[in-house]
Structure 1
Amino acid sequence: MTARTAHLGMLLWAALVGLSFPAVGLMGELPPMLLTALRFAIACLGLWPLAHRAEGFALARRAVPVYALMGLCLAGFFGAMFWAAHHATALSMATLYVTVPLLAYGLGLGLRVERLAWRLPAILALGAVGALALAYAEALVRGGQMRFGIGEAVFFVGCVCSALYPVLSKWGLNAGRLPASAAVRTFWSLGLGGVLIGVLGVLVEPVSRFAAMSWSDALLLVYLGLFSSALTFWLMQRATLVLTPGAITAYGYLVPFVSMLVLFLRAPQSLDWVWLPGSLMVLAAIALLLRHDADTERKTGDSARTQAD
């Protein structure tokens, strides 16, 4: 797989994640952590036909600790997000989430899956400023307030967990602990993460609230499980083969851009110049990221040909 193919997959990832938020908003008020555990279970069922036939599906002893840590990262992020949703403002959470790509780059340097250079951090910083501008534009349209308290602190820990997930996946691949199959890595990390989130949900959430689930809720849950969980995490794991954690998580900057486009379709009166600066910076960051990886791939190919000669 080439870097271009991986980037195209991550563009689809950003579109799917951005469209998942309106879908979640259509669901009834159900226990969020238990709902996520069910989403992951549905995702694993969808991945089963592809994963169980792939090489490396059987859990190797060396892979178990890495999968367990990846599952903890998923449980940590979603657990922190659901708890912080009742203790932090939406603007504060959106602002903190833009730190994920830079955190992934820094953690990747520590585990030696990123290279120390200036171009990628600069591109990530540009995308972060653009995403931040989109968050403030949304705050101006819908109203919101930025602050930092215990809710924001917990959510930042969740952001660290989110950044660590692709770093661990890349490290596991480089160390030979994880298989090459993206479906297998997605299956086991979602499976373990779902179990951990489910246990936490059973402890703190009322299971009886699921009695209020309607048929439309169930259909949306299946959609979210198959497309917003199975497919998106598979696309991320697939891109991990050729992209670095920083480049992968940078596509998170496109999620508020997609949400902005959905908002314009649902409420055209929201269209305003206030959205333009952030949109341009996010698009510029993604374009520079594509060019950066294309240059890197070309240089690698030239170097390989020179050695062959």
Structure 2
Amino acid sequence: VQTTRKALLRYGLISGSLVIFFWCMFLSLRYTSALNTSVLFTLVPGLSGMYAALIVRERLGRARLLALSIGLVGAIWVIFRGDVQELLSLTWNRGDSIFFVGCLAMGLYTPLVKMLHRGEPMEVMTFWVLVTGIVWLLPIGGFALTQITWSGVPASTWAWVFYLAVFSTVVSFYITQFAIPVIGPTRTMAYSYLYPGLVLVIEVILGHGWPELKVIPGICIIIVAMFVLQRTPMGKGSD
């Protein structure tokens, strides 16, 4: 797939935001919990909305701002399964600070795609975003590859690596980048509010039981927020 130096710079800026996020995420989990990072990640749609307003002049409007706030509440409700005491018991630590920096970077992702897309096929953009992402990652973690005993890596690990590489990365990024020019950066990133609810669905499918009734209000709040976000007309810079 041919490209130009200017295009590589565009793709490098986009992949840079993703690399910073994932690097911060994995580093932060050495010092904090997955629960804490889940809560912090709910800030990303709002951050994307603010960045989009500044970078691509997307008008959020009162309805969309309200929906983003409601979605934030709903997502946190589901994460904590309606347990207010568990929410209040959270403490800020070093890992949370690291992950928050990552969230600031991730918030730039969808606005940057909107700003830097030049009409090329999304397959091309996805390919070069992934390639430039590898270029960013090599100086950070390439040295560690020489320290791995590859023959000792179990087949199950390779299977999960394949899943993460194909579905969580290539397919996910392609769909996201395809959606951004169509529905806008804020709407696209707002779908991340659905993650906690989708996790509950997966748990049900895996036989872990249905969620408690006190979780249902959070799911309903998210559905309402998503409906408002998707029905609100797009402002300047989003069409």
Q: Same fold (TM over 0.5)?
A: yes
- Separation in 2 of the partners of 1:258 and 1:144? 24
Question: Which residue in 2 is equivalent to 1:114?
Answer: 58
Map 1:213-224; keep pairs closer than 5 Å. 213-224=153-164
Secondary structure at the aligned position of 1:229 is classed as helix
2:10 pairs with 66, 89, 101, which one?
66
2:116 pairs with 147, 172, 175, which one?
172
Map 1:1-309; keep pairs closer than 5 Å. 52=1, 58-137=2-81, 146-173=90-117, 178-203=118-143, 207-269=147-209, 271-293=211-233, 296=234
Distance 1:226 1:138, change over 3 A: farther
- CA deviations over 1:31-76 (Å, ceiling 9, x no partner): xxxxxxxxxxxxxxxxxxxxx3xxxxx3223322221211211110
Unaligned 5+ runs, structure 1: 1-51, 53-57, 302-309
Question: Which residue in 2 is equivalent to 1:11?
Answer: none
TM, length-normalised to structure 2:
0.88
Question: What's the offset of the Cα at 1:231?
Answer: 0.9
Deviates more, 1:105-114 or 1:201-210: 201-210
Question: What's the offset of the Cα at 1:246?
Answer: 1.0
Mapped contact 1:67–1:188 kept (Cα < 8 A): yes
Letter in structure 2 aligned against 1:65: L
Deviates more, 1:268-277 or 1:122-131: 268-277
Mapped contact 1:96–1:159 kept (Cα < 8 A): yes
State the number of aligned residues: 236
Distance 1:213 1:277, change over 3 A: same
- Separation in 1 of the partners of 2:174 and 2:82? 30
- Separation in 2 of the partners of 1:115 and 1:81? 30
Mapped contact 2:80–2:87 kept (Cα < 8 A): no
Secondary structure at the aligned position of 2:148 is classed as helix
Question: What's the offset of the Cα at 1:260?
Answer: 1.0
Mapped contact 1:87–1:150 kept (Cα < 8 A): yes
* Aligned-pair Cα RMSD in Å: 2.7
Distance 1:278 1:205, change over 3 A: farther
Secondary structure at the aligned position of 1:197 is classed as helix
Secondary structure at the aligned position of 2:6 is classed as coil
Question: What's the offset of the Cα at 1:285?
Answer: 1.5
- CA deviations over 1:133-176 (Å, ceiling 9, x no partner): 11111878x99952212211110110111110111111113xxx
Letter in structure 2 aligned against 1:137: R
Letter in structure 2 aligned against 1:76: I
Distance 1:86 1:143, change over 3 A: farther
